[in-house]
Structure 1
Amino acid sequence: MTILVTGGAGYIGTHTCIELIKAGYDIVVVDNFSNSKPEALERVCEITGHNIISYKTDIQNKQELEKIFSQHNIEAVIHFAGLKAVGESVQLPLTYYQTNIMSTLTLCEVMKKYDVKNLVFSSSATVYGATDQVPILEESPLNPVNPYGRTKHMIEEVLRDLVKSDNNWSIALLRYFNPVGAHESGEIGEDPTGIPNNLMPYISQVAVGKLESLQVFGADYKTVDGTGVRDYIHVVDLAQGHIKALEKIIDTNGIEAYNLGTGNGYSVLQVISAFEKVSGIKIPYSIGERRPGDAALCYADVSKAKEDLKWGARKGIEDMCQDSWRWQRKYPNGYSQKSIKIYSN
């Protein structure tokens, strides 16, 4: 079975490509490399021992996308492609609405034309907004507070309408909490552009000496130590969740949302402590003001994914820190810019 993976050169995409290949699927990757690097796919080839068919294409380009569908017997799509930085979305809302929503509409139009109606969509826990009502259920109110989260919410609604119009569609909406970690080989991992927006890569870059110290936003929340608590999930566990979701949609019709997290919350200081333990490096940090819109507590109820998908996270916070540190220490500057020969266009 051939699976199209949009945005497959990205952080979660590459880890999912590995799990797809391990599970016996053939994959075709489409990525415009606007926020990823071709070398990441070369590393996937090295890890798995398999070549990857990959196209340097923006999925908003309908003609190019149709060409890919016409050349490959695609039976399902895992859709990662899109812009993903919360802060940037506030500065560039029109870009986020244009890119994330229009690309998904184009993808679905082409899927419909080629009668491919199995889709795993990369959504986000940001659709819930800043809520302190935990654990968060899939039925919890959806109230995103930034353009990035709103694009995910809008796309979910588009996909629900699509299923209502044609019950042959089968779609899983995967609402990620906080993906962290890296592949155990240390060959692929999170490679943010510029200053990291997320906690773990920021800590890792402090540890490796690229950044001087970490600023903790708020230490007066009603939590175990005053700092914000989040549900961090190892990226490999998350990737395996996509395999389980894919298996589910192939055998069913309709649309379902699933939280993918551990169901446990870790505070910022607990993450720092765990990282220091596995790395042996002291992480300097300072306490700053709260960020507007940040919730004190945010972690998932994952019982639905466990029941319906037969999936559950296996790796704990120390595994997440250990694998993040292995990747960062091995490749302090992330992926290089060298050209490779594994994709065609």
Structure 2
Amino acid sequence: MKVLVTGGMGYIGSHTCLALLEAGHEPVIFDNLSNSSALVLEQIAKISGVKPAFIEGDIRNTDKLYQVLTGYQCDAVIHFAALKAVGESTEHPLRYYDNNVAGSLSLLRAMDRAAVRRIVFSSSATVYGDPDYIPIDEAHPVRATNPYGWSKVMVEQQLSDLCGSDPRWQATSLRYFNPIGAHESGELGDNPLGVPNNLMPYIAQVAVGRRAKLEIFGADYPTVDGTGVRDYIHVMDLAAGHVKALDNDNHQSGFFACNLGTGTGYSVLQMVAAFTAVSGVQIPCEIKSRRPGDISSSFADPGLARRILNWQSQRDLTSMAADIWRWQTNYPAGI
């Protein structure tokens, strides 16, 4: 199957391209490189022996998307391309709605025009907002607490409405929790431009001396140690989930949403301890005030993905931390 992967040069997208190649699919990458590097393509080729087609472009360019979908005769789309920082989204909400929501609408228009009506969407557990209960299952109300989360809710609504209007469409929305880790080869990992927005790449950059200390936003949450608790999932487990969703025939048409997570929550300080145990490096930390839009605890009930997609996470926290450290020591300055 030929699969257009929007945002395929990014962290999760690039690892999913490796999983697609391993499963015998042919990824076609579409990315504007706003938070990624074209050198990622070389790393994919180094690991897999295959260099996927790459087109630089913005998902808000409907005509260009249509040309790529038809020119490469794509059968399906995996849609990652999005801005993804919770804090930044509260400061620049219009930018997030323009890129994430309007961009997705542009993609769906191009797909409909090209008669490509199978899509796997990169959603997020942020759609649940501050949870009423944990673990969070898919029956939990959807109500985000920040513009990033609302942008995911809005795209899910687009997909649901589109599938409801036309039975030829099949859309799977994967609400995943907190991706960490790297490819076990140490040749591909989280490679953000500028200051990382996520916890583990920041910890890794502190460990190799690129950052002076880890800033922990909030130590007064009602959790085991006062710091925020999240469900951290290995990026290659997450990538495998996207391939399972692409190949899933349990729902022939319509909209389907499910969680991808481990079902276990860890606090920020527990993650620091796990990384220190693997790397042998002490991570200096500074406690700061909470960030707008953050919540205290979030972890998944992954049962639906197990039942419908035949998927579950395979890698434990030690593997996640070890793979991050291998990647960061191989490429201390990124690629």
TM-score class, shorter = over 0.9
Unmatched 5+ stretches in structure 2: none
1:250 is displaced (CA, Å) by 8.6
In 1: Cα distance, 2:28 partner to 2:294 partner: 38
- The sequence identity of aligned pairs, in percent, is 53
Q: Give the residue type in structure 1 aligned to 2:241.
A: G
User: 2:314 and 2:97 mapped to 1: Cα distance?
Assistant: 35
**Deviation string, structure 1 residues 215-268 (Cα, Å, up to 9, x no partner):** 222333332222221100000000000000001159611111111110100111
Report the Cα offset of residue 314 of structure 1: 0.7
> Hey, what does 1:243 align to over in structure 2?
243
Deviations 1:156-204 (A, max 9, x none): 0011000110011111000110000111111111122222221101111
Q: Which residue of 2 aligns with 1:313?
A: 313
Segment drifting more, 217-226 vs 32-41: 217-226
Name the CA distance, whole Å, in 1 between partners of 2:16 and 2:95.
Answer: 26
Give the whole-Å Cα distance in 2 for the aligned partners of 1:33 and 1:193: 10
Q: State the partner residue of 1:274.
A: 274
Residues 160 and 255, structure 1, Cα contact 8 Å, conserved in 2: yes
Q: Tell me the residue number matched to 1:147.
A: 147
The TM-score normalised by the length of structure 1 is 0.94
Q: Which residue of 2 aligns with 1:232?
A: 232
**Which structure 1 segments of 5+ residues have no match?**
336-345
Is residue 2:93 matched to residue 1:93?
yes
Residue 43 of structure 2 is aligned to residue 34 of structure 1: no
User: Does the 8 Å contact 2:63/2:110 carry over to 1?
Assistant: no
Which residue of 1 is the match for residue 219 of structure 2? 219
Corresponding residue of 1:201: 201
Which digits, 9 at most, give the CA deviation of each residue in 1:33-77, with x for residues without a partner? 111111011110111001211111112112211211221221110
2:183 maps to what in 1? 183
Partner of 1:53: 53
What is residue 83 of structure 1 aligned with on the other side? Answer: 83
Q: Normalising to structure 2: TM-score of the pair?
A: 0.96
SS in 2 for 1:38: coil
State the partner residue of 1:17. Answer: 17
> Distance in 1 between the 2:86 and 2:304 partners?
27
Cα distance, 1:298 vs. partner? 0.7
Deviation at 1:146, TM superposition (A): 1.2
Query: Match of 1:70, SS?
Result: helix
How far apart in 2 are the matches of 1:70 and 1:214? 46
Shift of 1:328: 1.1
The one-letter code of the counterpart of 1:60 is R
Residue in 2 aligned with 1:113? Answer: 113
Q: Which runs of 4+ in 1 moved over 6 A?
A: none
AA paired with 2:222? Answer: K
Q: Determine helix, strand or coil for the equivalent of 2:143.
A: coil
Tell me by how many angstroms 1:79 deviates: 0.5
* Paired residue total: 335
Aligned residue runs from structure 1 range 290-309, under 5 A = 290-309=290-309
